[in-house]
Amino acid sequence: MSDSLQALDWGELVGRLGSAAELEASAREAGALLRKRQVAGAVDLLRLCFAYVLGRFSLRTLAAWAEQRGLASMSDVAMLKRLKASADWVGSLVSLLLAERCPEAVAGLPGGLRMMAVDATVVAPPGPKRDYFMVHTVFDLSRLQLCSVEVTDRHDAERLSRGARPGELRIADRAYARATDLARAVAAGADFLVRAPSNYPRLLDSEGQVLDRLALCREAAEKGVLDRSVQVQDGKSKLAVAARVVIFPLPPEAAEKARRAARRLAAKASYAPSQAGIEMAGYLVLLTSLAPDDWPPERLASTYRLRWQIELAFKRMKSLVGLEDLRAKDPDLARLWINTALLAALLAEDDLPALDPEAPDSLPLAA
Protein backbone atom coordinates (compact mmCIF):
# COMPACT_ATOMS: atom_id res chain seq x y z
CA MET A 1 0.00 0.00 0.00
CA SER A 2 1.29 3.47 -0.83
CA ASP A 3 2.43 5.87 1.86
CA SER A 4 -0.19 8.42 0.74
CA LEU A 5 -3.01 5.95 1.41
CA GLN A 6 -1.66 4.92 4.81
CA ALA A 7 -1.24 8.55 5.86
CA LEU A 8 -4.89 9.51 5.27
CA ASP A 9 -6.87 10.36 8.39
CA TRP A 10 -10.37 9.33 7.35
CA GLY A 11 -12.11 11.22 10.10
CA GLU A 12 -10.36 14.44 9.08
CA LEU A 13 -10.97 13.75 5.39
CA VAL A 14 -14.70 13.27 5.90
CA GLY A 15 -14.80 16.46 7.95
CA ARG A 16 -13.17 18.43 5.15
CA LEU A 17 -15.76 17.16 2.71
CA GLY A 18 -18.69 18.03 4.98
CA SER A 19 -19.89 15.07 7.04
CA ALA A 20 -20.67 11.39 6.69
CA ALA A 21 -24.37 12.24 6.28
CA GLU A 22 -23.63 14.76 3.53
CA LEU A 23 -21.40 12.26 1.72
CA GLU A 24 -24.18 9.69 1.99
CA ALA A 25 -26.71 12.11 0.49
CA SER A 26 -24.45 13.21 -2.37
CA ALA A 27 -23.49 9.61 -3.22
CA ARG A 28 -27.14 8.62 -3.45
CA GLU A 29 -28.01 11.66 -5.54
CA ALA A 30 -25.19 10.85 -7.99
CA GLY A 31 -26.29 7.23 -8.26
CA ALA A 32 -23.10 5.87 -6.69
CA LEU A 33 -24.81 4.30 -3.66
CA LEU A 34 -28.25 3.15 -4.68
CA ARG A 35 -27.91 -0.07 -2.70
CA LYS A 36 -25.88 -0.88 0.41
CA ARG A 37 -25.84 -4.61 -0.14
CA GLN A 38 -22.14 -4.70 -0.98
CA VAL A 39 -20.83 -1.43 0.51
CA ALA A 40 -22.00 -0.18 3.90
CA GLY A 41 -21.93 3.54 3.13
CA ALA A 42 -20.48 6.49 1.28
CA VAL A 43 -17.41 6.83 3.54
CA ASP A 44 -16.43 3.22 2.79
CA LEU A 45 -17.09 3.73 -0.92
CA LEU A 46 -14.83 6.78 -0.97
CA ARG A 47 -12.15 4.78 0.79
CA LEU A 48 -12.37 2.14 -1.95
CA CYS A 49 -11.89 4.85 -4.59
CA PHE A 50 -8.81 6.19 -2.80
CA ALA A 51 -7.43 2.67 -2.32
CA TYR A 52 -7.79 1.93 -6.03
CA VAL A 53 -5.93 5.09 -7.07
CA LEU A 54 -3.46 5.78 -4.26
CA GLY A 55 -2.89 2.13 -3.38
CA ARG A 56 -2.19 1.17 -7.01
CA PHE A 57 -4.35 -1.91 -6.46
CA SER A 58 -5.64 -4.13 -9.21
CA LEU A 59 -9.39 -4.73 -9.05
CA ARG A 60 -8.83 -8.25 -7.74
CA THR A 61 -6.43 -7.03 -5.05
CA LEU A 62 -8.79 -4.20 -4.16
CA ALA A 63 -11.67 -6.65 -3.69
CA ALA A 64 -9.53 -8.82 -1.41
CA TRP A 65 -8.30 -5.79 0.57
CA ALA A 66 -11.87 -4.51 1.00
CA GLU A 67 -13.03 -7.92 2.23
CA GLN A 68 -10.17 -8.12 4.72
CA ARG A 69 -10.90 -4.61 6.05
CA GLY A 70 -14.62 -5.24 6.27
CA LEU A 71 -15.37 -2.38 3.85
CA ALA A 72 -17.10 -4.39 1.15
CA SER A 73 -17.74 -7.92 -0.02
CA MET A 74 -17.81 -8.22 -3.81
CA SER A 75 -16.05 -9.73 -6.79
CA ASP A 76 -13.60 -7.81 -8.92
CA VAL A 77 -16.29 -7.50 -11.62
CA ALA A 78 -18.74 -6.01 -9.13
CA MET A 79 -15.97 -3.72 -7.85
CA LEU A 80 -15.40 -2.49 -11.40
CA LYS A 81 -19.08 -1.62 -11.80
CA ARG A 82 -19.17 0.14 -8.42
CA LEU A 83 -16.10 2.26 -9.20
CA LYS A 84 -17.39 3.25 -12.64
CA ALA A 85 -20.71 4.28 -11.09
CA SER A 86 -18.83 6.52 -8.62
CA ALA A 87 -17.09 8.71 -11.23
CA ASP A 88 -19.70 11.49 -11.21
CA TRP A 89 -19.98 11.44 -7.42
CA VAL A 90 -16.25 11.86 -6.83
CA GLY A 91 -16.29 14.54 -9.52
CA SER A 92 -18.96 16.43 -7.59
CA LEU A 93 -16.71 16.39 -4.50
CA VAL A 94 -13.89 17.84 -6.61
CA SER A 95 -16.18 20.60 -7.89
CA LEU A 96 -17.20 21.54 -4.34
CA LEU A 97 -13.59 22.04 -3.29
CA LEU A 98 -12.77 23.95 -6.47
CA ALA A 99 -15.80 26.22 -6.05
CA GLU A 100 -14.65 27.19 -2.55
CA ARG A 101 -11.29 28.30 -3.90
CA CYS A 102 -12.33 29.93 -7.16
CA PRO A 103 -15.93 31.20 -7.14
CA GLU A 104 -15.32 33.46 -10.14
CA ALA A 105 -15.16 30.44 -12.44
CA VAL A 106 -18.87 29.74 -11.96
CA ALA A 107 -20.01 33.33 -12.42
CA GLY A 108 -21.42 32.56 -15.88
CA LEU A 109 -20.77 33.82 -19.39
CA PRO A 110 -22.76 35.97 -21.82
CA GLY A 111 -25.41 34.02 -23.68
CA GLY A 112 -25.21 31.12 -21.26
CA LEU A 113 -21.98 29.78 -22.76
CA ARG A 114 -20.28 26.93 -20.90
CA MET A 115 -16.51 27.22 -20.54
CA MET A 116 -14.86 23.95 -21.51
CA ALA A 117 -11.10 23.55 -20.93
CA VAL A 118 -9.75 21.02 -23.43
CA ASP A 119 -6.45 19.29 -22.70
CA ALA A 120 -4.52 16.10 -23.30
CA THR A 121 -1.53 14.41 -21.74
CA VAL A 122 0.70 11.48 -22.63
CA VAL A 123 0.68 8.65 -20.09
CA ALA A 124 3.29 5.92 -19.81
CA PRO A 125 2.15 3.17 -17.42
CA PRO A 126 4.79 1.37 -15.37
CA GLY A 127 6.35 -1.83 -16.65
CA PRO A 128 9.05 -3.06 -19.03
CA LYS A 129 6.84 -2.56 -22.09
CA ARG A 130 5.73 1.03 -21.72
CA ASP A 131 2.61 1.31 -23.88
CA TYR A 132 2.27 5.09 -24.15
CA PHE A 133 -1.25 6.38 -24.64
CA MET A 134 -3.11 9.69 -24.68
CA VAL A 135 -5.64 10.87 -22.11
CA HIS A 136 -7.95 13.49 -23.62
CA THR A 137 -9.99 15.49 -21.13
CA VAL A 138 -12.73 18.12 -21.27
CA PHE A 139 -13.26 20.03 -18.03
CA ASP A 140 -16.38 22.15 -17.56
CA LEU A 141 -15.06 25.32 -15.91
CA SER A 142 -18.61 26.61 -15.45
CA ARG A 143 -19.50 23.65 -13.22
CA LEU A 144 -15.91 22.79 -12.21
CA GLN A 145 -16.41 19.19 -13.27
CA LEU A 146 -14.53 16.77 -15.48
CA CYS A 147 -17.18 15.93 -18.05
CA SER A 148 -15.27 13.82 -20.56
CA VAL A 149 -12.26 11.49 -20.53
CA GLU A 150 -11.14 9.56 -23.58
CA VAL A 151 -8.12 7.26 -23.61
CA THR A 152 -6.65 6.65 -27.05
CA ASP A 153 -3.57 5.45 -28.84
CA ARG A 154 -0.76 7.98 -28.53
CA HIS A 155 -0.98 8.67 -32.27
CA ASP A 156 -4.54 10.03 -31.96
CA ALA A 157 -4.12 13.79 -32.30
CA GLU A 158 -5.35 16.39 -29.85
CA ARG A 159 -8.61 17.89 -31.18
CA LEU A 160 -10.43 20.93 -29.90
CA SER A 161 -13.64 19.69 -31.52
CA ARG A 162 -13.63 16.35 -29.67
CA GLY A 163 -17.22 16.05 -28.39
CA ALA A 164 -17.97 19.74 -29.03
CA ARG A 165 -21.60 20.83 -28.62
CA PRO A 166 -23.64 23.99 -29.21
CA GLY A 167 -23.41 26.57 -26.43
CA GLU A 168 -19.84 25.73 -25.44
CA LEU A 169 -16.76 27.94 -25.36
CA ARG A 170 -13.80 25.65 -25.99
CA ILE A 171 -10.59 26.96 -24.38
CA ALA A 172 -7.22 25.40 -25.13
CA ASP A 173 -3.50 26.00 -25.51
CA ARG A 174 -1.24 26.26 -28.56
CA ALA A 175 -1.51 22.59 -29.55
CA TYR A 176 -5.15 23.09 -30.55
CA ALA A 177 -4.70 26.15 -32.79
CA ARG A 178 -5.31 24.34 -36.09
CA ALA A 179 -7.64 25.82 -38.70
CA THR A 180 -9.36 22.53 -39.61
CA ASP A 181 -10.14 21.74 -35.98
CA LEU A 182 -11.33 25.28 -35.23
CA ALA A 183 -13.68 24.95 -38.19
CA ARG A 184 -15.02 21.63 -36.86
CA ALA A 185 -15.72 23.20 -33.47
CA VAL A 186 -17.65 26.04 -35.12
CA ALA A 187 -19.56 23.56 -37.30
CA ALA A 188 -20.59 21.74 -34.10
CA GLY A 189 -22.07 24.99 -32.77
CA ALA A 190 -19.27 25.79 -30.31
CA ASP A 191 -17.06 28.87 -29.98
CA PHE A 192 -13.32 28.77 -29.44
CA LEU A 193 -10.64 30.66 -27.53
CA VAL A 194 -7.15 29.28 -28.15
CA ARG A 195 -3.62 30.51 -27.78
CA ALA A 196 -1.68 30.62 -31.04
CA PRO A 197 2.02 29.79 -31.47
CA SER A 198 4.34 32.20 -33.26
CA ASN A 199 4.48 30.22 -36.52
CA TYR A 200 0.99 28.82 -37.12
CA PRO A 201 -1.80 28.82 -38.12
CA ARG A 202 -1.75 31.07 -41.18
CA LEU A 203 -3.65 34.35 -40.74
CA LEU A 204 -5.21 36.17 -43.71
CA ASP A 205 -6.60 39.69 -44.01
CA SER A 206 -9.95 40.63 -45.60
CA GLU A 207 -8.37 40.44 -49.06
CA GLY A 208 -6.90 36.99 -48.54
CA GLN A 209 -3.32 38.20 -48.06
CA VAL A 210 -1.10 36.46 -45.51
CA LEU A 211 -0.48 38.64 -42.46
CA ASP A 212 2.99 39.07 -40.98
CA ARG A 213 2.71 37.77 -37.39
CA LEU A 214 5.73 39.72 -36.17
CA ALA A 215 4.37 42.95 -37.67
CA LEU A 216 1.08 42.34 -35.86
CA CYS A 217 2.93 41.85 -32.57
CA ARG A 218 4.89 45.05 -33.04
CA GLU A 219 1.66 46.91 -33.81
CA ALA A 220 0.22 45.52 -30.56
CA ALA A 221 3.28 46.84 -28.72
CA GLU A 222 2.59 50.32 -30.09
CA LYS A 223 -1.13 50.27 -29.35
CA GLY A 224 -1.08 48.31 -26.09
CA VAL A 225 -3.33 45.61 -27.57
CA LEU A 226 -4.30 44.54 -31.10
CA ASP A 227 -7.77 43.21 -31.97
CA ARG A 228 -8.32 42.38 -35.65
CA SER A 229 -10.71 40.25 -37.72
CA VAL A 230 -8.87 37.58 -39.71
CA GLN A 231 -9.30 34.32 -41.57
CA VAL A 232 -7.45 31.38 -40.02
CA GLN A 233 -6.35 29.15 -42.90
CA ASP A 234 -5.03 25.61 -43.11
CA GLY A 235 -1.87 25.61 -45.21
CA LYS A 236 -2.62 22.33 -47.01
CA SER A 237 -6.38 22.21 -47.55
CA LYS A 238 -6.77 26.01 -47.70
CA LEU A 239 -9.84 25.65 -45.45
CA ALA A 240 -10.42 28.94 -43.62
CA VAL A 241 -12.48 29.95 -40.61
CA ALA A 242 -13.41 33.47 -39.53
CA ALA A 243 -11.87 34.63 -36.25
CA ARG A 244 -10.35 37.50 -34.31
CA VAL A 245 -6.68 37.67 -33.47
CA VAL A 246 -6.08 39.48 -30.20
CA ILE A 247 -2.47 40.21 -29.23
CA PHE A 248 -1.22 41.45 -25.86
CA PRO A 249 2.39 42.45 -25.15
CA LEU A 250 3.47 40.76 -21.92
CA PRO A 251 4.89 42.98 -19.17
CA PRO A 252 8.67 43.45 -19.66
CA GLU A 253 9.74 41.02 -16.92
CA ALA A 254 7.26 38.38 -18.05
CA ALA A 255 8.25 38.87 -21.70
CA GLU A 256 11.92 38.33 -20.92
CA LYS A 257 11.07 35.23 -18.91
CA ALA A 258 9.05 33.86 -21.84
CA ARG A 259 11.92 34.54 -24.25
CA ARG A 260 14.40 32.77 -22.00
CA ALA A 261 12.03 29.80 -21.88
CA ALA A 262 11.81 29.81 -25.69
CA ARG A 263 15.60 29.73 -25.95
CA ARG A 264 15.85 26.86 -23.46
CA LEU A 265 13.21 24.90 -25.36
CA ALA A 266 15.07 25.41 -28.62
CA ALA A 267 18.34 24.29 -27.04
CA LYS A 268 16.69 21.19 -25.61
CA ALA A 269 15.25 20.34 -29.03
CA SER A 270 18.60 21.08 -30.72
CA TYR A 271 17.50 23.76 -33.13
CA ALA A 272 18.41 27.41 -33.60
CA PRO A 273 15.40 29.67 -32.88
CA SER A 274 14.72 32.58 -35.22
CA GLN A 275 15.02 36.10 -33.91
CA ALA A 276 11.41 36.68 -34.90
CA GLY A 277 10.29 33.64 -32.91
CA ILE A 278 12.18 34.82 -29.82
CA GLU A 279 10.69 38.30 -30.12
CA MET A 280 7.15 36.96 -30.53
CA ALA A 281 7.54 34.82 -27.40
CA GLY A 282 6.99 38.04 -25.47
CA TYR A 283 3.38 38.33 -26.65
CA LEU A 284 0.14 36.57 -25.84
CA VAL A 285 -1.64 35.77 -29.12
CA LEU A 286 -5.25 34.58 -28.84
CA LEU A 287 -7.60 33.39 -31.57
CA THR A 288 -11.34 33.43 -30.94
CA SER A 289 -14.68 33.16 -32.69
CA LEU A 290 -16.35 35.31 -30.02
CA ALA A 291 -17.90 38.66 -31.00
CA PRO A 292 -16.05 41.80 -29.84
CA ASP A 293 -19.13 43.52 -28.39
CA ASP A 294 -19.53 41.00 -25.55
CA TRP A 295 -15.90 39.91 -25.54
CA PRO A 296 -13.44 42.81 -25.47
CA PRO A 297 -9.72 41.90 -25.28
CA GLU A 298 -9.41 42.20 -21.50
CA ARG A 299 -12.28 39.78 -20.97
CA LEU A 300 -10.71 37.28 -23.34
CA ALA A 301 -7.44 37.39 -21.40
CA SER A 302 -9.11 36.89 -18.03
CA THR A 303 -11.23 34.03 -19.40
CA TYR A 304 -8.20 32.31 -20.91
CA ARG A 305 -6.49 32.47 -17.52
CA LEU A 306 -9.24 30.27 -16.07
CA ARG A 307 -7.96 27.41 -18.20
CA TRP A 308 -4.89 27.28 -16.00
CA GLN A 309 -6.99 26.01 -13.09
CA ILE A 310 -7.37 22.60 -14.70
CA GLU A 311 -4.03 22.74 -16.54
CA LEU A 312 -2.05 23.21 -13.35
CA ALA A 313 -4.31 20.93 -11.34
CA PHE A 314 -3.33 18.12 -13.69
CA LYS A 315 0.34 19.00 -13.35
CA ARG A 316 0.01 18.99 -9.57
CA MET A 317 -1.88 15.72 -9.74
CA LYS A 318 0.96 14.16 -11.73
CA SER A 319 3.48 15.07 -9.06
CA LEU A 320 1.33 14.17 -6.04
CA VAL A 321 -0.40 10.97 -7.06
CA GLY A 322 1.29 9.97 -10.31
CA LEU A 323 -0.95 10.26 -13.34
CA GLU A 324 1.54 7.96 -15.08
CA ASP A 325 0.14 5.13 -12.92
CA LEU A 326 -3.24 5.40 -14.66
CA ARG A 327 -4.07 1.90 -15.87
CA ALA A 328 -7.75 2.36 -16.76
CA LYS A 329 -8.68 2.71 -20.40
CA ASP A 330 -12.44 2.41 -19.91
CA PRO A 331 -13.79 6.02 -20.10
CA ASP A 332 -15.84 5.83 -16.88
CA LEU A 333 -13.11 4.07 -14.90
CA ALA A 334 -10.50 6.53 -16.19
CA ARG A 335 -12.78 9.40 -15.19
CA LEU A 336 -13.13 7.91 -11.70
CA TRP A 337 -9.36 7.53 -11.48
CA ILE A 338 -8.65 11.12 -12.53
CA ASN A 339 -11.40 12.59 -10.34
CA THR A 340 -10.06 10.71 -7.33
CA ALA A 341 -6.53 11.85 -8.10
CA LEU A 342 -7.74 15.45 -8.38
CA LEU A 343 -9.58 15.13 -5.07
CA ALA A 344 -6.44 13.76 -3.41
CA ALA A 345 -4.37 16.61 -4.84
CA LEU A 346 -6.84 19.22 -3.58
CA LEU A 347 -6.94 17.70 -0.12
CA ALA A 348 -3.13 17.48 -0.03
CA GLU A 349 -2.64 21.21 -0.55
CA ASP A 350 -5.10 23.86 0.59
CA ASP A 351 -3.40 26.58 -1.44
CA LEU A 352 -2.97 24.61 -4.63
CA PRO A 353 -1.28 26.81 -7.27
CA ALA A 354 -3.59 25.27 -9.86
CA LEU A 355 -6.43 27.34 -8.44
CA ASP A 356 -4.70 30.68 -8.75
CA PRO A 357 -6.47 32.70 -11.46
CA GLU A 358 -3.17 34.54 -12.07
CA ALA A 359 -1.60 32.37 -14.75
CA PRO A 360 2.05 31.38 -14.28
CA ASP A 361 2.39 32.35 -17.93
CA SER A 362 2.11 35.99 -16.77
CA LEU A 363 -0.92 36.67 -18.92
CA PRO A 364 -2.05 40.31 -19.04
CA LEU A 365 -4.42 41.29 -16.29
CA ALA A 366 -7.84 42.61 -17.19
CA ALA A 367 -8.17 46.35 -16.88
Confidence of residue 317 (pLDDT cuts 50, 70, 90): low
What angle do the packed helices 76-85 and 87-101 form, to 10 degrees? 40
Tell me the C-alpha to C-alpha distance, in Å, between residue 146 and each of 70, 90, 137, 252, 337: 31, 10, 7, 36, 11
What is the reported pLDDT for 189?
Answer: 96
Q: What is the pLDDT of residues 64-85, one digit of tens each?
A: 999 998 888 899 999 999 999 9
- Integer Cα distance of 244 and 61 in angstroms: 53
* Average pLDDT along the chain: 83
- Integer Cα distance of 33 and 234 in angstroms: 49
What is the reported pLDDT for 170?
Answer: 95
What is the reported pLDDT for 325?
Answer: 66
Arithmetic mean of pLDDT, 39-58 = 89
> In terms of Cα–Cα distance, which of 306, 317, 322 is closest to 361?
306
What is the reported pLDDT for 305?
Answer: 83
Confidence of residue 326 (pLDDT cuts 50, 70, 90): confident
Arithmetic mean of pLDDT, 352-357 = 39
- Integer Cα distance of 136 and 156 in angstroms: 10
One-character DSSP codes across 79-137: HHHHHHHTHHHHHHHHHHHHHHH-GGGGS--GGGPEEEEEEEEEE--SSSS---EEEEE
Cβ-based neighbours of 89, under 8 Å, separated by 6 or more: 26, 27, 30, 31, 32, 33
Helix (H/G/I), strand (E/B), else coil: 190? coil
What is the reported pLDDT for 132?
Answer: 72
One-character DSSP codes across 23-35: HHHHHHHTTS-S-
Arithmetic mean of pLDDT, 152-179 = 89
Arithmetic mean of pLDDT, 206-234 = 96
Arithmetic mean of pLDDT, 106-116 = 71
What is the reported pLDDT for 103?
Answer: 61
What is the reported pLDDT for 337?
Answer: 87
Arithmetic mean of pLDDT, 86-99 = 87
Give yes or no for a cis peptide into 249 (omega within 30° of 0): no
Arithmetic mean of pLDDT, 214-234 = 97
Residue 23 has pLDDT above 70, yes or no: yes
What is the reported pLDDT for 198?
Answer: 85
Which one of 73-77, 104-108, 226-230, 335-339 scores highest in mean pLDDT?
226-230
What is the reported pLDDT for 352?
Answer: 42
One-character DSSP codes across 191-223: EEEEE--SS-SEEE-TTSPBP-HHHHHHHHHHH
Confidence of residue 187 (pLDDT cuts 50, 70, 90): very high
Cβ-based neighbours of 265, under 8 Å, separated by 6 or more: none
- Beta bridge partner(s), residue 117: 139, 171
R_g of the chain computed on alpha carbons: 22
Q: What is the largest CA-CA distance in the chain?
A: 72
Between 233 and 365, residue with greater pLDDT = 233
Q: How many CB atoms are located within 10 Å of the residue 296 CB? A: 15
Task: Indicate the DSSP class of residue 39.
Answer: B
Residue 143 has pLDDT above 70, yes or no: yes
Q: Provide the terminal-to-terminal Cα distance of the chain, rounded to the nearest Å.
A: 50
One-character DSSP codes across 294-358: T--HHHHHHHHHHHHHHHHHHHHHHHHH-GGG----SHHHHHHHHHHHHHHHHHH-TT-GGG-SS
What angle do the packed helices 42-54 and 87-101 form, to 10 degrees? 90
Threshold 0.85, pTM exceeds: no
What is the reported pLDDT for 83?
Answer: 94
Cβ-based neighbours of 15, under 8 Å, separated by 6 or more: none
Q: How many CB atoms are located within 10 Å of the residue 34 CB? A: 10
Residue 122 has pLDDT above 50, yes or no: yes
Arithmetic mean of pLDDT, 218-224 = 97
Between 359 and 268, residue with greater pLDDT = 268
What is the reported pLDDT for 5?
Answer: 46
